[in-house]
Chains A and B, each alone.
Chain A
Amino acid sequence: MAGWPMLADDGSALDCAKSPHKKLKPEPASKGSDKASEALVEGEGVLDKLRFESEEFLLGFGEEICAQEPFRPLPPMLGDGQRLDLLKLFLVVRQKGGYHAVSENGLWNSVAKESGLLSSNLASPVKLVYVKYLNILERWLKRVVENEGSECGLSNSGVDFVGCLMELQAELKALLAKVPDQKMKDEEYPHLELATEEVESDGGQKSFGDEGLSGVDSVDKIYDTIKLCNENEGEMTALDGDVNGVVCDEKKACLDSSEGSNGGKLHEYDEVKSAAVELDGGKNCDDEDVVILDPADIEDRFYGKRKRESLCGMQNWVTGVAVNPCDPAVGSLPEWSKWKSYGKGEMWKQVLLAREAIFLKRQVDSSAEQWQKTQKMHPCMYDDQLGSSYNLRERLRCGKNLLDEKMMSQAGACSESSSATQGDLDKIPFAGGMKDEAINQLLGTADSSTADSVLDKYPPSRIPWGPRFEAEVPEWTGVASESDPKWLGTRVWPLENVERRSLIERDPIGKGRQDSCGCEVRGSIECARFHIAEKRLRVKLELGRAFYQWKFDKMGEEVRVSWTEEEEKKFKAILLSNPQSLQKCFWDQIFKFSPTKSSADLVSYYFNVFLLQRRGCQNRLTPNNIDSDDDESGSGLVTNGIGHEADKSPSSIFYSPKKPHTNFR
């Protein structure tokens, strides 16, 4: 196939799981990637010198870009064995105006030549290499230049990231301007680190593309491959057990059962990445007409390149633990939070990494299947045991960082969910670019609308975020904080002194209205008035002080007691003289005519007397045409007879309801 990655340089299988760990580490110092670099030193001795100077940049770049879109193994080689100088290639393309310009003008052949390649007709391999290795950098730089604010695409990764990215940008610019050579070398460094990962994923993916197998078949294929490795090398029995879905005892034995979400994060990270890698590989196979290797070949390459020694030790260790879990020689695991500070020298760490390496494949490819399984999990959230593999996933889910989000959306997409999930998928930062299409295809959620930009994958939220919108929710500390016991309300009922209550003959609680009464004309106005008054007296007696506190003395038609007949007449007249058509405000007039009444009095009279009386009339006269709540309308008034929606007085001292309903409709 056309110059596809050299596998010979790979580190051990564990490296691929290790590199993401390192990238997750916040402090550059911890980046001492002995293994990966060792593998490279032979070919790239120069790197050693430059590595320390630019470590910080690399780390950042790795975190922000490479981690999302892993780099390929280095150095890139073409089909005929020629090595391609990436720096040269990059500069040449840059000089010619960038990827698009070169593509449009068909300049790839000349680019190939200028990059120092000997044979002709290398346009497509060079283009491929460029796309795979450098295009992301180019686009990223372009964005940096074009849009300083582009890092907002990353904002979901936290404020720190943004700041970090900005530094990176500055740094990168400076580097580009001053020491391009160094930059390129530096850039290669993460490539190297990630090389092994690429190999593995690619191997699996090629079989995918080759056979056109369904996802599950492809998974099987990978398993088979791994199994073959085991058989041949006799090293990975523990992992084999895992792959076959057998709950791995060794694992249990050597792992602290309280593995927490942090471990989970790493898994997620891997998963996201490996998905990208695989999909990318698949895409590449399809699009670039790469000669596809037959499965045997894949397997051959797949395990043929591993560093066997490191696995041997690990396997022995696992076997030992399995035989005697309590052996003091095994020692105990540190807290999971400290795991990442341990190097690969620790056996248990190797086992963990190996497990990840296996799982990240398994979980991506069979996530749809696992998704189903997890649904059946009882939400027994206190269970934190290591169980079967989907239990692990379960745990991952409780991780609360941004990676969680990515993982979710991925899993969601795998389950063939609908558009909401598609939206989530869009949010995966850096999963875009040339991989969008592939991802969508593979996940069955094709969406042509996905932008091809790498950095603006995070659509703006409809719900504003920030101190002007959010409530400040404190972290739950597990301890209930004190609330002021002083302000709990003042008890009004039951009354403090209850002697009087016993005197009152009470209706049973919740009793309704009695239909029978001794009144002469049942249902007459007088009858109703009598019963209301009777009830009122009783309520007053019963409630005592509460009667006044609840303003029952200012409720109902009692309110009119304080009004003279003249005032009432005036009030009514003003109201009735204000049909909507006149666009007048009856309240204005009422205030003018009733200077002695406060507005509260007027409102009270309005609700307690006027409307009530009007409603009483409605009830009797037009029971089929009750205007239930449009209080201001004149409908149902004896004088108006009919009418509805007669919105009167749209202007007032209080406010001008130009269209009181529109906002709600």
Chain B
Amino acid sequence: MRSKDRISYFYDGDVGSVYFGPNHPMKPHRLCMTHHLVLSYELHQKMEIYRPHKAYPVELAQFHSADYVDFLHRITPNSQHLFSNELAKYNLGEDCPVFENLFEFCQIYAGGTIDAARRLNNQLCDIAINWAGGLHHAKKCEASGFCYINDLVLGILELLKHHARVLYIDIDVHHGDGVEEAFYFTDRVMTVSFHKYGDMFFPGTGDVKEIGEREGKFYAINVPLKDGIDDSSFTRLFKSIISKVVETYVPGAIVLQCGADSLAGDRLGCFNLSIDGHAECVRFVKKFNLPLLVTGGGGYTKENVARCWAVETGVLLDTELPNEIPENEYIKYFGPEYSLRIPNGHIENLNSKSYLSTIKMQVFENLRSIQHAPGVQMQEVPPDFYVPDFDEDERDPDERMDQQAQDKHIQRDDEYYEGDHDNDQNMDDV
């Protein structure tokens, strides 16, 4: 069945040739592979594909400081030795090298996320995908963790022009510190990050106790996890927390950062998620039927990144992808199995049940402090949303989910649907 959602997918052929330097784990070439895989599965037939505009420096300066943007604009590999002070100041160098076309690369991925947000705002699509984006570590005035420009913050700021509240969800193995920091003091954005925490794991923030401050108090949620978390515990935790969050916060739009370094076998990550588990989170978020901006993020085993994001593109298009990867230019990268499935991780799962439930209770308790959506709520027509009413103790989530999916399909058939009222149908669902 064809998806009712209108999907906009952003890709610029230029990102594939960006190179951070030898041995740098971040390989934009993975975007090329992802796109290739998406196309080889013929997914492009079901969506619109856009080439993003290159974000202007002034657009980047909506969040970043003008001096930082300007410096990124000017610096080149050949001139960098003249600016050692600035390089240090902006944290450029080791993790965040200066490479050729650095600024153009930033413009492309940031432009993609901004365009995606704008298309959502103008109701030109229901879901927008920019796998090139999701660089969640970048700070206002400095680069961090392979991230130069924080396209997520820019995208969220764009969404905030049309929505009173935006929910940001981050399933990268690393803490989404840049986004959290940008919105730590506001209740207009709730950030929820699931990440590895402890053992000096980068970036070192993301304790469950970091919950936001001032107006933003209780509007930052951190779910710190330990090594080796597997599909079942991760998705269960994810679903219960996210459904509660959406129920409580009632966001107008959701931004989902799908960092693929939380997959098993990642070069830098340490989780045991399979692609199915990772994609299950995407599927779950999609079910809320809210304007959804999906970005990439980390992911340092590039064929797995390509696999994962192709599968998730399929999920967003309601298309199940067969396991055998179709012929394409890069098929060799997917050998020797040439399949979508990735080997199971064998990192020991250090997340005990009691640990996870402690974290969950902590998060829930903080959420309870909100109860009401914030003051801005009152000024907006309450958006309709779809709460899957997830209750792990009651029933098998999968079964329940199927039922819901079914209901949705039934409704969908006879439903005439206009862009302006894309959520109306849910009135009956709730």
Contact = CB atoms under 8 A, between A and B. Distances in A.
Contact of B327 (A398, A531, A615): A531
Contacts of B153: 471
Nearest to A599: B100
B16 interface: yes
Nearest to B298: A664
Interface stretch (B207-215, B347-355, B389-397, B416-424): B207-215
B97 A655 contact: yes
A558 B13 CA distance: 16
A296 interface: no
A660 B122 contact: no
Contact of B158 (A483, A534, A612, A657): A483
Given A654-B100, A655-B99, 17 more contacts: A400-B187, A400-B375, A420-B362, A420-B366, A473-B160, A473-B188, A473-B189, A477-B379, A478-B164, A483-B161, A492-B49, A506-B45, A509-B319, A556-B329, A619-B335, A654-B99, A661-B25
B93 interface: yes
B376 A663 contact: no
A110 to B, nearest CB: 48
Nearest to A631: B27
Most chain B beta-carbon neighbours within 10 Å: one of A461, A469, A474: A469
Contacts, number: 360
A180 B22 CA distance: 73
A657 B94 contact: yes
B250 A654 contact: no
B383 interface: no
B49 A653 contact: no
A493 B41 contact: no
B62 to A, nearest CB: 8
Contacts of B181: 463-464, 469-470
Contact of A474 (B46, B160, B303): B160
A489 interface: yes
Contacts of B401: none
Contacts of A649: 22-23
Contact of B41 (A419, A511, A536): A511
A331 interface: no
Interface size class of A (residues with CB under 8 A): 35 or more
Contact of A513 (B210, B326, B377): B326
Interface size class of B (residues with CB under 8 A): 35 or more
Contacts of B186: 470-471, 473
B369 A648 contact: no
Nearest to A474: B160
Contacts of B43: 509-510
Interface stretch (B50-58, B231-239, B275-283, B405-413): B50-58
A491 B49 contact: yes
Interface in B148-205: 153, 156-158, 160-162, 164, 174, 180-189, 199-202, 205
B77 A654 contact: yes
A465 B213 contact: yes
B118 interface: yes
Nearest to B208: A420
Nearest to B249: A379
B86 interface: no
Contacts of A473: 157, 160, 183, 186, 188-189
A363 interface: no
19 contacts: A382-B378, A397-B372, A418-B362, A420-B366, A469-B141, A471-B63, A492-B49, A508-B42, A509-B43, A512-B41, A532-B329, A536-B329, A600-B17, A603-B19, A612-B330, A616-B332, A619-B332, A619-B336, A652-B21
Contacts of A616: 332, 335
B140 A374 contact: no
Nearest to A491: B50
Given A492-B51, A587-B22, A655-B94, A551 B336 contact: no
Contacts of B326: 507, 511-513, 535
A471 B182 contact: yes
B373 A381 contact: yes
A490 B115 CA distance: 10
B213 A550 contact: no
Given A398-B372, A420-B211, A612-B333, A465 B302 contact: no
Contacts of B27: 607, 629, 631
A470 B140 contact: yes
- Top 8 A-B pairs, shortest CB-CB distance: A556-B329, A512-B322, A619-B335, A551-B13, A655-B97, A489-B50, A654-B21, A493-B49
Given A476-B188, A632-B22, A549 B321 contact: no
Interface string A443-478: 000000000000000000111110011111111111
B213 A663 contact: no
B386 interface: no
A463 B321 contact: no
B292 interface: no
A628 B371 contact: no
A481 interface: yes
Contacts of B429: none
A563 to B, nearest CB: 15
Nearest to A427: B213
Interface of B is mostly: loop
Interface in A251-299: 261
A550 B301 contact: no
A555 B328 CA distance: 10
Nearest to B270: A665
Interface string B359-390: 00010011011111111111110100000000
A478 B376 CA distance: 8
Nearest to B375: A400
B6 interface: no
Interface string A486-505: 01111111100000000000
A660 B119 contact: no
Contact of B322 (A480, A511, A604, A611): A511
Nearest to B2: A509
B295 interface: no
B338 interface: yes
Interface string A400-435: 101011001000100101111101000000000000
Contacts of B300: 629
A660 B42 CA distance: 36
A509 B141 contact: no
B380 A478 contact: yes
A604 B329 CA distance: 13
Given A492-B51, A510-B42, A546-B49, A476 B333 contact: no
A490 B25 contact: no
B426 interface: no
Interface in A538-560: 539, 543, 546, 549-552, 554-558
A654 B24 CA distance: 10
Given A470-B181, A549-B13, A629-B267, A660 B329 contact: no
B322 A463 contact: no
Nearest to B78: A653
Contact of A629 (B101, B205, B302): B302
B51 A555 contact: no
A650 B23 CA distance: 7
B209 A489 contact: no
Nearest to A415: B365
Given A463-B180, A476-B376, A489-B10, A509 B45 contact: yes
Contacts of B201: 664-665
Contacts of B157: 471, 473
A623 B301 contact: no
Contact of A539 (B39, B164, B378): B39
Contacts of B77: 653-655
Contact of B200 (A261, A585, A586, A665): A665
B140 A471 contact: yes
B20 interface: yes
Contacts of A471: 63, 140, 153, 156-157, 182-183, 186
A647 interface: yes
B142 to A, nearest CB: 9
Contact of A420 (B174, B209, B268, B380): B209
